[in-house]
């Protein structure tokens, strides 16, 4: 639980899972979702699989932006297949990507939150890797940090020439 004065939280275990739990279980109306992770897996055996994420963003009509590396491994190709064809998901490949950032931009800015750190969007990152992350909440000084993270993902990284557009979004009106 976040107190009114706490705008950041250090996460030393299962940070990506904590982000996904908050995303799925808090019931916050989202304006957009940004996932920046060099490695993405379908996580089909996980509580929060990519298939579940796709259903959520499609049902709630949440514009979702994924920036990742081009899939080299079978697990990465399976992950992309889980998202290909979704009208709510834009996919970009960036071969230089190393950053990991997850931003849930809410309809009410005060409910927005982000995670940045070392965790990829993979089951291994969630279940067994030693990862470190920082969750930022849109409270007090966290608002400015969150706005910067959102801007970096939504504008700066997405518009880099090497962030090649693979799938465009076909958003439906709310």
Q: Which domains does the chain have, with CATH numbers?
A: 9-167 (3.30.870.10)
21-52 residue pLDDT tens:
999 998 899 999 999 999 999 998 888 999 99
User: So what's the pLDDT on residue 74?
Assistant: 95
Question: Can you give the pTM of this predicted structure?
Answer: 0.93
pLDDT at 100 over 50: yes
The mean-pLDDT minimum among 61-70, 83-92, 116-125 falls in 116-125
Residue 1 has pLDDT above 80, yes or no: no
Residue 115 main-chain phi, psi, to 5 deg: -130, 130
Structure tokens at 107: 């309809």
List, for residues 118-173, the tens digit of each pLDDT value: 999 998 888 888 888 999 999 899 999 999 999 999 999 999 999 999 999 985 65
Residue 4: pLDDT over 50: no
Q: Give CA–CA dist 56/59, Å, rounded.
A: 5
How far apart CA 132 and CA 120 sit, in angstroms, is: 11
Confidence of residue 2 (pLDDT cuts 50, 70, 90): very low
CA distance 170 to 130: 37
User: How far apart are the C-alpha atoms of 167 and 174, rounded to whole Å?
Assistant: 21
Quote the CA–CA distance of 34 and 102 in Å, as a whole number. 6
Say how many residues make up the chain: 174
């Amino acid at each position: 639980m976040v107190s009114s004065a706490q705008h950041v939280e250090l996460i030393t275990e299962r940070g990506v899972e904590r982000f996904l739990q908050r995303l799925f279980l808090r019931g916050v109306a989202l304006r957009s979702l940004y996932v920046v992770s060099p490695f993405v897996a379908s996580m089909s055996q996980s509580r929060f699989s990519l298939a579940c994420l796709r259903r959520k963003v499609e049902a709630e009509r949440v514009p979702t932006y994924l920036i990742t590396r081009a899939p080299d491994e079978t697990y990465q190709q399976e992950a992309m297949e889980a998202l290909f064809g979704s009208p709510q998901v834009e996919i970009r490949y960036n071969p230089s990507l190393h950053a990991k950032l997850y931003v849930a931009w809410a309809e009410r800015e005060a409910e927005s939150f982000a995670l940045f750190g070392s965790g990829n969007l993979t089951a291994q990152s969630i279940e067994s890797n030693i990862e470190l992350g920082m969750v930022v909440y849109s409270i007090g000084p966290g608002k400015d940090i969150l706005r910067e993270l959102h801007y970096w993902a939504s504008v700066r990284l997405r518009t880099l020439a090497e962030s090649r557009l693979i799938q465009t979004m076909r958003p439906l009106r709310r």
